[in-house]
Amino acid sequence: MRVFDATGTPLIEELAEYRQYVDLFRFLALRDIRLRYRQTLLGVAWAIVQPLLPMLIFTVIFSRFLRPETGGVPYPLFIFTGLTLWTFVASSILAGSTAFISNFSLLNKVYFPRAILPTATVAVCAFDGLIAGAVVMVVTCFCGYLPTARWLLLPAIALWLVVLATAATLLAASLTVAFRDMKNVIPFLVQIWMYSTPVLYPANLIPMPLRFLAGANPMTGPLEAFRACLLHTAPDWRVIAESGLSLFVVILAAVSVYRFEEAHLAERA
């Protein structure tokens, strides 16, 4: 016997319910991947072009005028690693923030655990991200940065990124339901986030009074660790640990905002 009332399902029960809907998640993700690659001319190449284009632009701008100190790593390689990870998180948020409002007719017609919609878009972006990540690994090896034991950390970094992208996308999608003009605000927030994240520069380049920002940013951890793996840079383990704590804050925020908005998704989305 299942009971539904004004308070909704307890979190534990809702989580258990996702097992029932694993197939739906897979079909939604596969649908979008299939549709995407059926329609785009570039196909799989699109996954690599996405971080590659900004890399070229930023390389020209930054290496001409700013020349950040990257610990001996060639600057294009440095930002290519950063932009690859960043592209995955940013494109998840941008694509997934409208997951609820653009699927209103669906939310209003069928019941399924709602968070499946934004998480399925994350899966699509993760597919692109995997391709781009593999290319980055090949490129760094080709440039002489051969695999070390640190590569064993890569699955953990990937997991961190997927969790972060999922939480941030869920948060963005729920806020877009609460505030209708949020979808115009989110691209700006993502931009601001990018420039305050050590994507284009190393974390130790942040001036000391602002250094706490690196730890407060859940994106710093995977970036620093990824470069430590692929480019043999010296990681700042403390910043990475702090960044891991901020990840939990983001997860908490995402789950609570989503659980709050979930109650009236089909009315307001």
For another protein, the binding residues (CB under 8 A) are 1-6, 8, 20-21, 23-24, 26-28, 31, 34-35, 38-39, 105-112, 177-182, 185, 263-264, 266-268
CB 169 within 8 A of CB 257: no
CA–CA separation, 222 vs 244, rounded Å?
Answer: 9
For another protein, the closer CB: 23 or 195: 23
* Shortest distance, position 100 Cβ to another protein, whole Å: 12
Through-space distance between the first and last CA atoms of the chain, rounded to whole angstroms: 29
CB 208 within 8 A of CB 232: no
Query: What is each CA distance from 81 to 8, 112, 152, 222, in whole angstroms?
Result: 43, 37, 17, 11
For another protein, the closer CB: 48 or 123: 123
For another protein, the closer CB: 20 or 148: 20
CA–CA separation, 158 vs 219, rounded Å?
Answer: 12
* Shortest distance, position 77 Cβ to another protein, whole Å: 39
For another protein, the closer CB: 39 or 41: 39
* Shortest distance, position 122 Cβ to another protein, whole Å: 18
User: Within its chain, how far is the Cα of 241 from the centroid?
Assistant: 18
* Shortest distance, position 195 Cβ to another protein, whole Å: 21
